[in-house]
Structure 1
Amino acid sequence: MEELDAFTYRERVASGVLVLIPVGSIEQHGPHMPLNTDVLLSREMAGAVAGATGALVAPPIVFGYKSQQRSGGGNHLTGTTSLDAATVVSIAKTLVLELARHGVRKVAFVNGHYENYQFLYEGADLAIRELRLDGITDLKVMLLSYWDFVGDDVIAELYPDGFPGWDLEHGGVLETSLMLLLHPHRVDMTRVADIPPAQLPDYDVLPARPEFTPASGCLSSGAAGTAEKGRLLLDGASAGMVAAIRGEFGV
């Protein structure tokens, strides 16, 4: 989207184009992957969806909501740089309102950071409510976290010894495999922490208890990650999102 000139962009908007907004975070992903892993993967997923639907991809929302110990290692870890909930809500709401001002009526957030989802939802909901008060009733917003579109068949192939759950996949096989496929030069497999899935309590406590988080910052091992598994994940997740988007928007 940002590489278009304003007049070409206006033409695309007038044609009814869908705009995808990738959303990531700046968050530690262990010693083997970069802090912007969620940004890179959300943008790649959005790009794959755009290639199949003709959508425009907006610049990503780079910062995300605070990392939680039971899904991202915790916001106390060095490198993780996060936003408060109200800020995430405000950014999401403002972007929807701005796109609507341009004439966009189809928007989808492509989420790559587990903790973002409810705040993106709230921002979109507030924007739609405000637009309706102004008489704009034809805007639709979708929210998609790409891992929700990974099928059971792919999960069974990737995790033959049992699936730990997406919350414990932080820095694990999913992200490592996708990064090996899409950004292999940014992954150092000699530094992977080969650890069992983290044993975490069934509750949260504030301030965070650093001893709950494995020293690596990862909640499961990425040692079994491969580019081939990344291809399965990218193809499966993007196909699922494309089907859902076509069902809602008819693109």
Structure 2
Amino acid sequence: MGSNRRMDHMTWPEFKEAKARPVIVPIGSTEQHGQHLPIGTDAVLATCVAEDLAERIDGTVLPALSYGYKSKPLSGGGPLFPGTIDMNGVTVINQMHDVLNELIADGFTKIVVMNAHFENEAFIVEAIDLVTRETGGVATIVETNWWDPVPQSVIDKVFDGLVFPGWALEHAAVTETSLMLHYAPEMVHMDRMVEEAGASAKSYVRYPVRQGDVPAHGGLANPAGSSAERGKLIADACVDAVADICAEEFGE
């Protein structure tokens, strides 16, 4: 992707000139992703999807917010693993609030928040609601997780011959591994991948989290069958859907 779409590669006059166009705020986490994926997986995926989207909607991509809300045991493995650095909810809210507020102050009125960490969403929405109230709704803000717009037909193709465990348990499993193989294969260690059934979803959460609550390797579902081809299917479906959403919501 050319530097002309990356805010951190722009000069301030270049960024000022972009204010009539959409701007995308990627948010991820710093969280273990099993034996084979990097700790920064969520931020990498949020950024890569945002960059693809920016090409489609003539947008600008901000640097990713790389710290997210506390990892839950059955969607991210919980606080049991070195490298998972969690933020309190108020921190996530305040960080997103301040970024959005500054963008609006700079004249941006078409904003997309691209989330890649399951636990972030409620705090993102709280920040968006606060900013919208405080600024009188001058900006249209679209919030989405990369997985939400992916249609069932694409999920069926991705999991053809495989078992889809549900989005919460798809942590370091087929979808994230496939997306990383598509976007950043050099960061994926397929030789370290643990192929086993993974965690089973509980109907409750119990604290303190204990060793043994989730698989010791950190993954929550079996990543066997992951491929760059499956990752491209997911990425293309997400970008297509969000581009259509932006065209509708931003009137373009």
TM-score by length of 2: 0.94
Match in the other structure for 1:156: 156
SS of structure 2 residue aligned to 1:2: helix
Distance, in Å, in 1 between the alignment partners of 2:40 and 2:118 is: 14
Instruction: Describe the superposition over 1:200-229 as per-residue Cα deviations: whole angstroms up to 9, x where unpaired.
Output: 321001111331101111101112101111
Residues 132 and 138 of structure 2 are in contact (CA less than 8 Å); yes or no, is this contact kept in structure 1? no
The total of aligned residue pairs comes to: 245
Residues 189 and 223 of structure 1 are in contact (CA less than 8 Å); yes or no, is this contact kept in structure 2? no
Match in the other structure for 1:180: 181
Q: Which amino acid in the other structure matches residue 155 of structure 1?
A: I
Residues 200 and 212 of structure 1 are in contact (CA less than 8 Å); yes or no, is this contact kept in structure 2? no
Residues 50 and 57 of structure 1 are in contact (CA less than 8 Å); yes or no, is this contact kept in structure 2? yes
More deviation in 113-122 or 2-11? 2-11
TM-score by length of 1: 0.95
Residues 192 and 221 of structure 1 are in contact (CA less than 8 Å); yes or no, is this contact kept in structure 2? no
Cα deviation, residue 82, structure 1: 1.2
Cα deviation, residue 75, structure 1: 2.0
Structure 2, unpaired ranges of 5+: 1-6
Alignment of 1:1-251 (within 5 A): 1-13=7-19, 16-132=20-136, 137-159=137-159, 160-251=161-252
SS of structure 1 residue aligned to 2:230: helix
Cα deviation, residue 197, structure 1: 3.8
Q: Please list every run of at least 4 consecutive aligned residues from structure 1 whose deviation after the TM superposition is greater than 3 angstroms.
A: none
Residues 28 and 116 of structure 2 are in contact (CA less than 8 Å); yes or no, is this contact kept in structure 1? yes
Percent of aligned positions that are identical: 35
Residues 164 and 197 of structure 1 are in contact (CA less than 8 Å); yes or no, is this contact kept in structure 2? no
RMSD: 1.1
Residues 35 and 192 of structure 2 are in contact (CA less than 8 Å); yes or no, is this contact kept in structure 1? yes
Instruction: Describe the superposition over 1:110-160 as per-residue Cα deviations: whole angstroms up to 9, x where unpaired.
Output: 00111101101001111111112xxxx421111110111222112112223
Structure 1, unpaired ranges of 5+: none
Residues 28 and 35 of structure 1 are in contact (CA less than 8 Å); yes or no, is this contact kept in structure 2? yes
